[in-house]
Amino acid sequence: MISGDFMLYPQLNEKRLLISLNGIWDFALGGEELETDKLINPLTDAKRLYVPASYNDQQADIALRDHYGWAYYQRRFSVPESVGENRLVLRFGAVAHACAVFLNGKEIASHVGGFLPFEAELDCRLLQASNLLAVAVDNRINYSTLPVGNEGSAMFGSGAPDFESVRKTKLKPQNYPNFDFFNYCGINRPVSLYTTPAEYISDVTVTTELSQGSARVLVCAVLSGEGEAQVSLLDKDGNELASGKAGDELIIDNPVLWQPNAAYLYTAKISFKNDCYYQKFGVRSVEVRGNQFLINGKPFYFKGFGKHEDSEIHGRGLDETLNVKDISLMKWLGANSFRTSHYPYSEEMLNLCDEEGIVVIAETPAVGLNSKSYKNTIAAHRGVIEDMIARDKNHPSIVMWSLANEPNTEEAEAYNYFMPLYELAHKCDPQNRPVTVVVSNNDYVKDRVAPAMDVICANRYYGWYIFAGNLDAAAQAMAAELDYFERFSKPFILTEYGADTISGIHSAVPNMFSEEFQAEYYDAVNAVLDKYSFVIGEHAWNFADFQTIQGILRADGNKKGVFTRERRPKLAAHYFRNRWRGIPDFDYKK
């Protein structure tokens, strides 16, 4: 069965055991129909692949890269006798996009959605000395999935045939994404076993409120079992500052605030019978007031990027070394923030942002929505908003929720689609963070959704897709758009803008695709942004080059990165380093 108590990040402590199932697994490709025998019996002629990681690039095999349909993973594991009578849970950090999980020939879980965790409590009666764990993964995308797929054709000049041509010629089906990043799939995040006592803590919510030099802290716990939980608040060095029952208001005098690029984390220790859990949290406030975005009561300016979980070989799989490198490069640049474009990122990355003081706009995987998909995606969209916020509600690094990226928001149905989701996000979030939708309509005066959000977030490519190469026209068009959005008296963030740039191409007279053009492009647009007080952020697209579907507009992927895919800086990285190190995190535009 699937357990609903899956939002706590698994941890090893004095009451809980944590066992990693990461490593080399057996793997085999399948077809369009689920083959149950590959979940019950050991795979024959299996490949050997690493988990967690996308399967697409792990071997020099076009069948893996361009696979369509089901794929199968298997590994064996044993359970230590020390587990005893404890509850034993199998947890997957993320499997893209849909999956079925079998243990010793019995189905124990299924899940849809490739970017959030799920788990199953194991029935000890199913366990043996050596247990066969099998996972079937379906990578297909369509009008009902998040992210959205095209049913028969693809975007961005890929040269893919239309649906009728596919039908007539009986071509082998493929995934045609309605999004501009590669459809990396597989077991992308960690797999683990963890234990709890029979009566346990299943969820923890921490909220804080600043008042007259003190912080009021409320720690609420959901318990499986009768009784009350006890709470201790600990400082960074482990010293107890306050204690009481879960649900009591606890006070921290003279708290150290969690600040961008100056993080400070407290820990709430929650104890319940023979179980305990340690939840880190930050004391900080977030508020939209007029055309300002306030963190701890001060006007914050977003400097940073749209980003992807994307790297050579790993694909979209968790790479903690790369996460550490990326955060260090952001700090080298003077950046303070990024958006999890276009899906919830790993818990490991968010934990790192909490520790390092990086501000995050957390986004759902609702990318590619249009009039063809609205009626099919609403249930999944509601579910992913609820699950994302439930998973990530305690992260101080997250200051805003993004419901979607670049949907069609010109039509009345878009407003009717998004406003209930906007209200749902506010209802689900115990911290009531601001909520946005990232829009991109070229005819922006017809946009029905952006002005209704707490913060207006827009992607705009004047000088690249529009007025290609003409930076004077780009600056004029950007100014005209900002003149329009200024009338709504809300904060505005330019959440994407950029130019494809091939590393190593240089030009004395800046031309498109050269490093010089990319730097001058950003300088031209930023000069406009600096003139408007309601513009409270700039997120360049993209942090690093990333892989996409093949196409005539994509030379080995999207090359809009300020860094190469290998994290080598382009000229624009040095431009932003000079710019951002001169722009303070707070009070940039008084």
Residues 6+ apart with CB under 8 A from 474: 462, 463, 466, 467, 521, 524, 525
Spatial separation of the C-alpha atoms in residues 67 and 62, rounded to whole Å = 8
Spatial separation of the C-alpha atoms in residues 107 and 100, rounded to whole Å = 7
Spatial separation of the C-alpha atoms in residues 4 and 308, rounded to whole Å = 28
Instruction: Give the position of tokens 């077991």.
Output: 187
Of 119, 363, 496, 520, catalytic: 496
Spatial separation of the C-alpha atoms in residues 251 and 217, rounded to whole Å = 6
406 is catalytic: yes
Among candidate residues 5, 187, 201, the one with its CA nearest the CA of residue 89? 5
The one-letter code for the residue type at 315 is G
Spatial separation of the C-alpha atoms in residues 123 and 108, rounded to whole Å = 9
Distances in whole angstroms, Cα of residue 303 to Cα of each of 20, 427, 519, 540, 583: 36, 28, 16, 9, 9
Alpha-carbon dihedral 220, 221, 226, 231, rounded to 10 degrees: -70
Residues 6+ apart with CB under 8 A from 423: none
Distances in whole angstroms, Cα of residue 166 to Cα of each of 139, 153, 163, 327, 531: 19, 9, 5, 44, 50
226 is catalytic: no
Residues 6+ apart with CB under 8 A from 189: 52, 92, 93, 94, 95, 117, 317, 318, 346
Of 406, 410, 520, 538, catalytic: 406
Helix 320-333 to helix 571-580 angle, to the nearest 10 degrees?
60
Instruction: Give the position of tokens 């992607």.
Output: 459
Among candidate residues 364, 357, 395, the one with its CA nearest the CA of residue 378? 364
Indicate which residues carry an active-site annotation: 406, 496
